[in-house]
């Protein structure tokens, strides 16, 4: 038996994993944060947060929804206090909320209420309300989804009927299914809401869904205003978003002034005439911004999970004995690193790509504001595709990471269960992924037909792969068995993935009247894979700006992303003939992936250190910086409420009687023998 205890060994293993890194962690860290200044701001804010008792995380695994909600309010209050005390900008407070990584009821005010106000309120409404909104003198939410309608906004049932005699709208929930549902912050917290309702003009014409400001609760005592019925919709699956009071609301002929309509673009005159918006796409901005930010958010969510998984599998030893007679570190099993290192690669890609996406998106929004909508459709298609790709990958990868932790991965203390439960709805909200696939496909088909009829018309960024269908590039059929260089060359893989998208698209077009049921999902994935691949190619070029060692290791991660994307695409690559089936191309690819993983393995812990999660932020017994996982698991178990109780009432009422009855029965039997 080893003289060093297993618990002690885990700390030594963690230290050893940080030696002999091929790169400097802080340089890579600065790359992830978008520069040293951003990192310093992040650290400054985190140092304030992590020592403040209001943000202590140690009880949060043990409390129910009511306590969690109360805790979230206290956290919110403290956050706003700190903002005022430190003079944080809105962006800095946003960063603080991001670092906190807590589910907060006020988030809907920040991400849904305020932006819609900014984007849709008339100058009059802005002057009346904006200061109150931005100072949080009122708290708002965005009431779109109904019990009966989520995706199909055109069929919402809530009505806003204009009453010309009173210069008022009558907001009404005509049916059970018109009840607003799922509205974040509504259940207990907000005072106001933006209600999306069918605008009914005098005479009965339905002008479609529009937005209306409705006060929901009294500013005096928070009671729900007359004619309105509000509540929380109940707990979420897997205990997710527990502190968030997603709510429902029903309106019983509630009157609001005409001026409460969000009328920057559309409107109703005093005598009830409808003012048509000049561009129907004006309201896309907010939704697109949220989708753009989901790329970065997905990346950082993966970063948390993979930090935990790589750290723990580095210190956990189990099974076969290595050359020192110690059980092998779990991360060294090929089946482990083959699963985990690609997730690390995806975290890096999504973080870097997300930053770039947000930047490009901001440019496009500024153009739209100036009336230039040319890039808007393209941006919409790209963001739909990215939203699907990122959220699908993150949900799947969170479970892969959790599963790699073995038994202790099922403990709440591992920290991944919470990440999963809170992230899960991302595949459904902001556009159900299956619906968004359809939009990506629609845009691709449109580009295809435009290109085929007029090859000289420019292809947008989201469709540039289509150029291959009429270009001079021969379809690259990989035939030569001795040529393995494709898998070693990032540009070759990018090119392959573009060809795959082009060929899958032309197959779908060819069979458009007889599509198989999976076609939308396959084509959407192919198109977005190609887009991301091209972006990675650009990002790889951008690495030249980094010092060589750091550029190399990130380049290796990006290359691994491309390799595993190709692995995921093998069916298409065979089916389209891009890979010849008789030459073990798939085996070559898997070996290339393994090789790439082996190259990255000694740097794995360092690469997760670059994410710079403090132990407080990560809140995981298995992901502590020092690797002392067993001591931490033990310590947390002592906090379990069941352990603060002696015998519970249930012991006396149920268990004890059952045991005693069983003992009695046995005595009777035994005494008869």
- d(C-alpha 578, C-alpha 531), whole Å: 18
In the complex, minimum distance from the CB of residue 560 to a second copy, in angstroms, rounded to a whole number: 13
x/- map, 230-249, a second copy, by CB under 8 A:
-xxxxxxxxxx----x--x-
Residues with Cβ within 8 Å of residue 256, at least 6 apart in sequence: 168, 169, 171, 212, 213, 214, 215
Q: How far apart are CA 438 and CA 381, in angstroms?
A: 10
Residue 145 labeled ligand binder:
yes
Structure tokens, 70: 């109360």
* Interface map 255-294 toward a second copy (x if CB under 8 A): ----------------------------------------
Q: Exposed, middle or buried: residue 320 (CB in 10 Å: 0-12, 13-18, 19+)?
A: exposed
Q: Is 229 in the site for a second copy (CB under 8 A)?
A: no
Cα separation, 213 vs 113, in Å, equals: 10
x/- mask, a second copy, residues 354-383, rule CB under 8 A, reads ------------------------------
Give the number of other Cβ atoms within 10 Å of residue 303's Cβ.
25
Smallest distance from a second copy to CB 356, Å: 29
Minimum CB separation from a second copy for residue 364, in Å? 27
**Tokens found for residue 412:** 């709440």
Out of 108, 120, 145, 301, the only residue in the binding site for a second copy (CB under 8 A) is 145
Q: Which one, 98 or 410, has the nearer CB to a second copy?
A: 410
Please report how close the Cβ of residue 549 comes to a second copy at its closest, in angstroms: 26
61 binds a second copy (CB under 8 A): yes
Q: What is the residue-wise DSSP string for 374-408?
A: TTHHHHHHHHHHHHHHHHHHHHHHHHHHHHTTGGG
Question: Which residue, 134 or 457, is less far from a second copy as judged by CB?
Answer: 134
From 33-41, 161-169, 187-195, 537-545, give the range in contact with a second copy by CB under 8 A.
Answer: 187-195
Which CB sits closer to a second copy, 443 or 540? 443
Query: Which residues are bridge partners to 317 per DSSP?
Result: 329
Instruction: Kindly write out the interface string for residues 576-595 of this chain, putting x where it contacts a second copy by CB under 8 A and - elsewhere.
Output: -x--xxx-xxxx--xx-xx-
Cα gap 34→459, rounded to integer Å: 30
Distance CA 278, CA 301 (A): 39
Among 66, 163, 166, 225, binds a second copy (CB under 8 A): 66
What does the alpha-carbon distance between residue 132 and residue 215 come to, in Å, rounded to a whole number?
A: 13
Cβ atoms of 291 and 430 within 8 Å: the answer is yes
Of the residues 32, 352, 395, 527, which one makes contact with a second copy according to CB under 8 A: 395
Q: Which residues, numbered 105-134, are part of the site for a second copy (CB under 8 A)?
A: 131-132
Q: Is 155 in the site for a second copy (CB under 8 A)?
A: yes
Based on the residue annotation, tell me whether 430 is a catalytic residue of this protein. yes
Is residue 85 near a second copy by the rule CB under 8 A?
Answer: no
Residue 184 within binding range of a second copy, rule CB under 8 A: no
DSSP 169-221: EEEE--SGGGSEEEETTTTTT-SEEEEEEEEE-TTS-EEEEEEEEEE-B-TTT
Is the Cβ–Cβ distance between 233 and 187 less than 8 Å? yes
Label the pairing between strands 206-215 and 228-232.
unpaired
Stretch binding a second copy (CB under 8 A), from 111-119, 279-287, 516-524, 533-541:
516-524
The minimum distance between CB 323 and a second copy, in angstroms, equals: 17
How would you class 408 by CB atoms within 10 Å of its CB: exposed for 0-12, middle for 13-18, buried for 19 or more? middle
Minimum CB distance to a second copy smaller for 273 or for 511: 511
Single out the segment in contact with a second copy by CB under 8 A; choices: 291-299, 446-454, 528-536, 641-649.
Answer: 641-649
Size of the site for a second copy (CB under 8 A): 154
Of 18, 43, 57, 149, the residue at the interface with a second copy (CB under 8 A) is 149
Quote the DSSP letter at residue 470. T
| Angstrom distance (rounded) from CA 455 to CA 441 | 20
Question: Is 478 within 8 Å of 486 (Cβ atoms)?
Answer: yes
Closer residue to a second copy in complex, CB, 191/608: 191
For a second copy, the binding residues in 441-500 under the rule CB under 8 A are: none
Among positions 151, 488, 491, 541, the unique one binding a second copy when judged by CB under 8 A: 151
The long-range contacts involving 46-50, CB below 8 angstroms and separated by at least 24 positions, are 46/99, 46/614, 46/617, 48/82, 48/86, 48/96, 49/82, 49/96, 49/99, 49/100, 50/614, 50/616, 50/617
Q: Quick check: 413 binds a second copy (CB under 8 A)? A: yes
Active-site hit among 168, 430, 498, 507: 430
Site string for a second copy, 319-358 (x = CB under 8 A): x-------x-----xxxxxx--------------------
Q: Which of 410, 470, 481, 538 binds a second copy (CB under 8 A)?
A: 410
Q: Is 625 in the site for a second copy (CB under 8 A)?
A: no
Distance between CA atoms of residues 290 and 144, nearest Å: 15
Shortest Cβ distance from residue 572 to a second copy (Å)?
A: 9
Question: Which residue is listed with tokens 């065979």?
Answer: 574
Select the residue interacting with a second copy from 51, 58, 59, 77 (CB under 8 A): 77
The answer to whether the beta carbons of residues 46 and 617 sit under 8 Å apart is yes
Q: What is the maximum alpha-carbon separation in the chain?
A: 100
Binding of residue 222 to a second copy (CB under 8 A): yes
- 514 near a second copy, rule: CB under 8 A: yes
- How many CB atoms are located within 10 Å of the residue 206 CB? 11
Can you read off the two tokens belonging to residue 461? Answer: 């960024």
User: From CA 174, how far away is CA 654, in angstroms rounded?
Assistant: 49
Q: Which is nearer to a second copy, 6 or 452 (CB)?
A: 6
Of residues 87 and 234, the one with the C-beta less far from a second copy: 234
Is residue 517 at the binding interface for a second copy, with CB under 8 A as the rule? Answer: yes
**Binding of residue 209 to a second copy (CB under 8 A):** no
301 is in an annotated binding site: no
Beta-strand (E) ranges in 494-560? none
**Separation between Cα atoms, residue 196 and residue 59, nearest integer Å:** 38
Could you say whether residue 6 binds a second copy (CB under 8 A)? Answer: yes
Binding residues: 145, 184
Q: What residues are labeled active site? A: 430
Binding residues for FAD: 145, 184
């Amino acid at each position: 038996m080893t003289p060093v205890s297993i618990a002690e060994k885990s700390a030594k293993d963690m230290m050893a994993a940080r030696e002999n890194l091929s790169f400097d962690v802080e340089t890579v860290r600065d790359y992830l944060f978008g520069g040293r200044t951003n990192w310093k701001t992040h650290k400054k804010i985190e140092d304030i947060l992590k020592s403040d008792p209001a943000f202590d995380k140690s009880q949060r695994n043990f409390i129910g929804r009511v306590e969690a909600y109360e805790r979230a309010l206290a956290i919110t209050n403290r956050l706003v206090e700190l903002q005022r005390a430190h003079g944080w900008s809105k962006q800095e407070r946003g960063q603080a909320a991001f670092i906190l990584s807590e589910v907060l009821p006020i988030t809907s005010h920040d991400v849904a209420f305020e932006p819609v106000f900014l984007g849709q309120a008339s100058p009059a409404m802005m002057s009346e309300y904006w200061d109150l909104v931005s100072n949080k003198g009122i708290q708002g939410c965005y009431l779109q989804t109904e019990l009966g309608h989520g995706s199909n906004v055109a069929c919402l049932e809530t009505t806003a009927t204009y009453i010309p005699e009173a210069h008022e709208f009558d907001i009404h929930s005509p049916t059970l299914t018109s009840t607003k549902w799922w509205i974040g912050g509504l259940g207990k917290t907000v005072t106001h809401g933006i209600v999306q309702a069918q605008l009914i003009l005098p005479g009965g014409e339905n002008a479609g869904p529009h937005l209306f400001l409705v006060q929901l609760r009294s500013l005096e005592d928070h009671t729900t205003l007359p004619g309105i019925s509000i509540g929380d919709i109940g707990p979420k699956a897997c205990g997710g978003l527990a502190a968030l009071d997603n709510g429902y609301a029903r309106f019983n002929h509630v009157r609001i002034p005409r001026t409460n309509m969000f009328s920057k673009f559309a409107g109703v005159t005093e005598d009830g005439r409808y003012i048509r918006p000049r561009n129907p796409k004006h309201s896309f901005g907010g939704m697109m911004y949220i989708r753009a930010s989901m790329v970065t958010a997905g990346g950082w969510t993966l970063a948390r999970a993979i930090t935990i998984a790589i750290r723990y599998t580095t210190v956990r030893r189990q099974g076969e004995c290595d050359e020192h007679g110690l059980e092998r570190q779990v991360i060294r099993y090929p089946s482990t690193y083959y699963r985990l290192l690609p997730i690390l690669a995806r975290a890096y890609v999504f973080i870097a790509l997300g930053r770039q996406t947000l930047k490009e998106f901001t440019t496009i929004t500024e153009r739209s504001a100036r009336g230039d909508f040319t890039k808007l459709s393209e941006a919409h298609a790209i963001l739909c595709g990215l939203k699907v790709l990122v959220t699908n990958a993150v949900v799947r990868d969170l479970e892969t990471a959790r599963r790699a932790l073995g038994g202790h991965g099922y403990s709440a203390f591992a920290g991944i269960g919470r990440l999963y439960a809170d992230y899960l709805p991302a595949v459904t909200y902001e556009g159900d992924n299956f619906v968004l696939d359809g939009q990506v496909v629609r845009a691709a088909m449109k580009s295809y037909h435009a290109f085929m009829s007029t090859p000289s018309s420019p292809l947008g960024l989201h469709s540039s792969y289509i150029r291959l269908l009429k270009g001079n590039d021969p379809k690259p059929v990989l035939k030569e068995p001795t040529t393995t260089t494709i898998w070693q060359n990032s540009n070759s893989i990018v090119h392959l993935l573009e060809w795959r998208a082009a060929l899958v698209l032309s197959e779908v077009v060819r069979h458009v009247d007889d599509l198989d049921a999976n076609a939308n999902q396959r084509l959407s994935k192919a198109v977005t894979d190609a887009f991301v691949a091209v972006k990675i190619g650009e990002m790889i070029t951008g690495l030249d700006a980094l010092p060589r060692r750091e550029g190399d290791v990130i380049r290796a991660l990006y290359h691994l992303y491309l390799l595993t994307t190709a692995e995921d695409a093998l069916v298409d690559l065979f089916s389209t003939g891009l890979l010849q089936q008789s030459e073990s191309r798939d085996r070559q690819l898997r070996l290339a992936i393994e090789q790439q993983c082996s190259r990255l393995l000694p740097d794995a812990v360092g690469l997760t250190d670059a994410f710079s999660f403090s132990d407080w932020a990560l809140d995981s017994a298995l992901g502590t910086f020092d690797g002392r996982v067993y001591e931490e698991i033990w310590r947390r178990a002592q906090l379990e409420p069941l352990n603060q109780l002696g015998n519970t009432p249930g012991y006396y009422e149920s268990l004890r009687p059952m045991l005693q009855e069983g003992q009695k029965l046995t005595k009777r039997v035994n005494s008869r023998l």
